Amino acid sequence: KPKHPGKREAQGLAPAIAAADLAKLPRLGEPPVVPGYDDRFAGVTGVIGPAIGWSGALAEPPFVDRRRRYPLIPRPEPFGDSLRPGERFRYDVTFSGNPTGVAEAAVVAREPGPFGSADRVRLEGFAKTGGVVSLLTTLTYTIKSVIDADTGASITTQAETERTGLGRDRYREVNTTFGGRGYVEIHDKRVDDKTRETTLRKRIPVDTFDSLSVMAWVRALDLAPGERARVYGLDGKVLLRVDVEGKGKTKLDPMPGIGTALGLRSDDVYELAGTITRVDSFGAPLPGKKVYKMRVWVSDDGRRIPLVLESDVWLGVVRLILTQYDPPQDEAGAGGDDRKTTPAAATR
């Protein structure tokens, strides 16, 4: 349907500019960029020709805009097709070489969205302390995440943390709802001597994922040696910036037993390295906060199985070593045997 010309167009005048940030109506939030009036914005509604009249008078002389703006960077490439229902990963967790617990992550199911919306994928994660650490305290962490089946964008996240042992027992539940990329609502419930509940709503960088989505994104990266990628992650109420760089094919020695059972050689591995930085809502690093380093070794084949994950913490290095892998449902069904893949089962 052709657009009826406005009053200014009927008079042969250029359309008025409503706002400098391309908004059709004024708003209180700071614009991500100040577009200006160059050729890049030719044809964009609201940015046609220079400002005239009162708008032009108010723009002279130009002023220095010192408002902070949210980072405007390209969104991550869609990685939803790399999430195949049925895949499950189990890791042994070591701290400075000492066994400290187990961790699991799984792609549970792909489901249609409500009211005819896009499909969704359910992810689940679990971690629990063990070994010497469990003599002092037992920490159990469970996370359930729902993400877009195409882009991988986070939709909702529920994380529960329970601590028992020496000292007070504590329980925390954080429910996060992503209102599109760039806005989040967090409901935080803490239970110790008393119950406290808070609700937080804030803006965040547009490409922010939850913890499980970040892991899935890192796994799906196909970076050439030296190529870099960046994404933002939300862990509870803590905003993190994850920078990853491709290191190329490398040799993993020793290769985990499950890797050998899956037919991988020690040089069938691709290494990714990066940093994890605490940032504010504008993506700026928080002063005085430690920047953590991480390394990930994935199988250099179509499966992209994370074999070993490593990150430094305050007093040492946390290392996750794959001990069990369940293939996707389609592969398990095709093979006629949907048993868990473990080193012992693979050698029988």
| Residues 200-223 pLDDT 10s | 998 888 778 999 999 999 999 999
Q: Is residue 48's pLDDT more than 90? A: no
The answer to whether position 75 is within a domain reads no
DSSP state of 18: -
How far apart CA 48 and CA 293 sit, in angstroms, is 47
> Judging by beta carbons within 10 Å of its beta carbon (0-12, 13-18, 19+), is residue 328 exposed, middle or buried?
middle
Number of C-alpha atoms within 13 angstroms, CB side, residue 202?
Answer: 15
> With bands split at pLDDT 50, 70 and 90, how would you rate the model's confidence at 333?
low
How many Cβ atoms sit within 10 Å of the Cβ of residue 32? 14
Amino acid letter for position 204: I
The verdict on 59 and 84 lying in the same domain is no
pLDDT, position 193: 85
The verdict on 160 and 24 lying in the same domain is no
pLDDT, position 11: 53
For residue 52, give both structure tokens.
């005239």
For residue 153, give both structure tokens.
């964008």
pLDDT, position 36: 47
The answer to whether position 74 is within a domain reads no
**pLDDT per position as a tens digit, 69-113:** 666 667 788 999 999 999 999 999 998 888 899 999 999 999 999
Q: Which residues contact 2 (CB under 8 A, 6 or more apart)?
A: none
Residue 163, domain extent: 80-347
Domain boundary among 49, 69, 89: 69
Q: Find how far residue 20's CA is from the centre of its chain.
A: 31
How far apart CA 343 and CA 348 sit, in angstroms, is 9
The verdict on 294 and 165 lying in the same domain is yes
